[in-house]
Amino acid sequence: MQWLVVLLLVVATFLVLRRRPKRFSRGILLGFFHPYCDSCGGGERVLWVMVLSLLESWKDMLHIVIYSGDYYENDETTKRLILQKVKDRFKIDIISRFYDNISFVRIRSRPLLEAKWYPVGTMIFQSLASIIVGFDCFRHVTPDVYIDTTGAAFIYPLVKLLSLGTTKVCAYVHYPIISTDMLSKVREQRPGYNNNSRIASSVTISTLKLLYYKVFASFYSIVGSYADIVMVNSTWTYGHIDSLWNKSGKKRIHTVYPPCNTRHVMQSTTGATSRKRVILSIGQFRPEKDHFMQLKAFQLYLDKLPLASRDGVELVLLGGTRNHEDEQLVDRLRRTAEEYGILSQVSFVVNAKYEEMLALLETSTVGLHTMWNEHFGISVVEMMAAGLIVIAHKSGGPKLDIITVGGRDTSGYLADSPEEYASHMNHILHEVSSSEQEGIRRNARASIDRFSDEVFKESVKKIFLDSGAVI
């Protein structure tokens, strides 16, 4: 039996070994693994600004392939639609400047990555499925540099195997699949979106889950060690990836803050004078974003107000949906708002165009962000750039990298419970004077230059040059 497994592995390896179609015969071929490149989240913005940065620097020597499930083979119409959407949503013009430098490879096996198929052991089964998806990518084309912008680390050893070690692996890590914080949550039996109350209340089940997490963390450390170039998006992510992937202490890990469209947002919203009592949340509709906490906090805030003072107060949840599960989440949120008796003052803006988001940024007063251990928080930075006074979760990137709390340098607020969020909402909208609000806005806008597109692009260019990935 063992010899058969080895034989199949050898045959599979040579079927895709260094596969490089003739149309990619010249120059350096970069392959970006981003199965949902057509989505409109922060991760997709990182992908496209990185692509833009590399092409602006080395257009004549690079060709870029995007491995994606949003593309259909040899379909120029789909390619144009994707690149036009990138331009419309992110104001990143690749379609008119670098159209011929971009190709797409369709990932037919992308559905295997969806969590819905794995109600038990989700992390390990998704990770194993990613290996199949990786093979699906490389049977089409094996690049000179493989760039993962989604966190699918279990593919890295496969890249090395199929290229006989000649392909460099570059990882831009938004969020470690497993972290010491996740281990602590299970160990301390604290409930959360990825640790439901049934599991948290059982010592036996929590012990088994903790063992599962520890075993998975060991494998995650091994596969991560195959990355040649590692970029992380925040101080929080750096700490976890360094402890997991850098056991020897010899791997250099670069902190590269994600590109935030601060300049355009700031230019479009500076001088806004018609701000309303609108609390704006920006973030994809996914369970970890914890929109349910936002609804509960808003209910608690409204309960504190006299009925006459509730007029004109609104919570707007703006975000994208990737699939049917995300759409179902929006439906559950609507039902929850109705149960809380606040639906008339809650708006859901799904898959909005960029101009629609800008209009809301210009007229809203408070920005809301509730994800626990958000790896960075692009939407937090964008809201600060637009002049919103942001309340973010007291953890992860917002706490460590973005928001300063207290004193003359205050640039926003932090909270970790619905009650604390509600208190901050009331404080900002009813107790902070106009001059104090302007002071917070100035501090926020002055602090976010380090998160600009320009800084990101220069960092990426230097890292690729220093590593020899584009020489």
pLDDT band at 328 (very low <50, low <70, confident <90, very high): very high
pLDDT tens digits for range 209-220: 888 888 999 999
Is the same domain home to 294 and 151? no
Dihedral angle at the C-alpha atoms of 315, 280, 255, 29, nearest 10 degrees? 100
Q: Would you call 281 helix, strand, or coil by DSSP? A: strand
End-to-end CA distance of the chain: 44
Q: So what's the pLDDT on residue 25?
A: 60
Q: Are strands 145-148 and 62-68 parallel, antiparallel or unpaired?
A: unpaired
Structure tokens, 320: 């994208």
d(C-alpha 68, C-alpha 76), whole Å: 14
* pLDDT tens track for 331-362: 999 999 999 999 999 999 998 888 899 999 99
- Is residue 7 included in any domain, yes or no? no
Residue 216 DSSP one-character state: H
Q: Residues 43, 108: one domain?
A: yes
HEC per residue, 253-264: EEECCCCECHHH
What's the number of domains the chain is made of? 2
**Residue 354, CB half-sphere, CA atoms under 13 Å: how many?**
17
> Among residues 404, 362, 354, 400, which one has the least CA distance to residue 383?
362
Same domain, 346 and 247: no
Residues 250 and 342 in one domain: no
CATH number at 39 reads 3.40.50.2000
- Within this chain, do residues 393 and 245 fall inside the same structural domain, yes or no? no
Instruction: Give the pLDDT confidence of 113-171 residue by residue, as tens digits.
Output: 988 899 888 899 999 999 999 999 998 899 999 999 999 999 999 999 989 899 999 99
Share of the chain above pLDDT 70, in %: 87
* Residue 183, number of CB atoms within 10 A of its CB: 15
Residues in the chain: 471
If asked whether residues 460 and 437 sit together in one domain, one would say no
- Please report which confidence band the pLDDT of residue 188 belongs to, taking 50, 70 and 90 as the band edges: very low
Q: How far apart are CA 439 and CA 433, in angstroms?
A: 10
Residue 185 has pLDDT above 60, yes or no: no
- Are 247 and 329 part of one and the same domain? no
Joined tokens for residue 412: 């926003």
Helix (H) or strand (E) holding 206: helix 203-224
Confidence of residue 182 (pLDDT cuts 50, 70, 90): low
Q: Is residue 435 part of a domain?
A: yes
For 92, the 3-state DSSP assignment is coil
Q: Could you tell me if 394 and 307 lie in one domain?
A: yes
- Cα separation of 390 and 399, whole Å? 12
Both tokens assigned to 197: 């109350």
Do 157 and 96 lie in one domain? The reply is yes
CB 44 within 8 A of CB 85: no
Q: What is the spatial distance between Cα 234 and Cα 375, in angstroms, rounded to a whole number?
A: 7
Query: What is the longest distance spanned by two Cα atoms in the chain?
Result: 78
Same domain for 132 and 26: yes
- Comparing 38 with 199, which gets the higher pLDDT? 38
Q: Is residue 416 part of a domain?
A: yes
What is the reported pLDDT for 41? 79
Residue 220 lies in a domain: no
Kindly state whether residues 297 and 428 are assigned to the same domain: yes
Contact criterion met (CB below 8 Å) for 43 and 171: no
Phi-psi group of 412: left, alpha or beta (phi > 0 → left; psi -120 to 50 → alpha; rest → beta): left
β-partners of residue 367 are 280, 390
Whether 210 maps to a domain, the answer reads: no
Q: What is the mean pLDDT of the chain?
A: 88
- Residue type, position 38, single letter: D
Q: Do residues 100 and 17 both lie within one domain?
A: yes
Q: Tell me the C-alpha distance between 15 and 6, whole Å.
A: 14
The CA R_g of the chain, rounded to the nearest whole Å, is: 23
Give helix 262-269 / helix 453-467 axis angle, nearest 10°.
170
- The pLDDT assigned to 75 comes to 80
Which amino acid, residue 400? L
- Per-residue pLDDT band for 425 (boundaries 50, 70, 90) equals very high
| Residue whose structure tokens are 């009813």 | 430
Is 190 part of any domain?
A: no
Amino acid of residue 189? Q
Overall pTM > 0.85:
no
Q: Residue 65 in contact with residue 32, Cβ under 8 Å?
A: yes
List the domain range (segments joined by +) for residue 283.
262-451
Q: Is residue 187 part of a domain?
A: no
Please write the tens of the pLDDT for every residue from 234-273: 999 999 999 999 988 888 999 999 998 888 888 877 666 6
pLDDT given for residue 189 in this prediction: 45
Task: Please compute the mean of the pLDDT values over residues 18-36 and round it to a whole number.
Answer: 78
**Residue among 298, 371, 291 at smallest CA distance from 326:** 291
* 8 Å CB contact between 94 and 52: yes
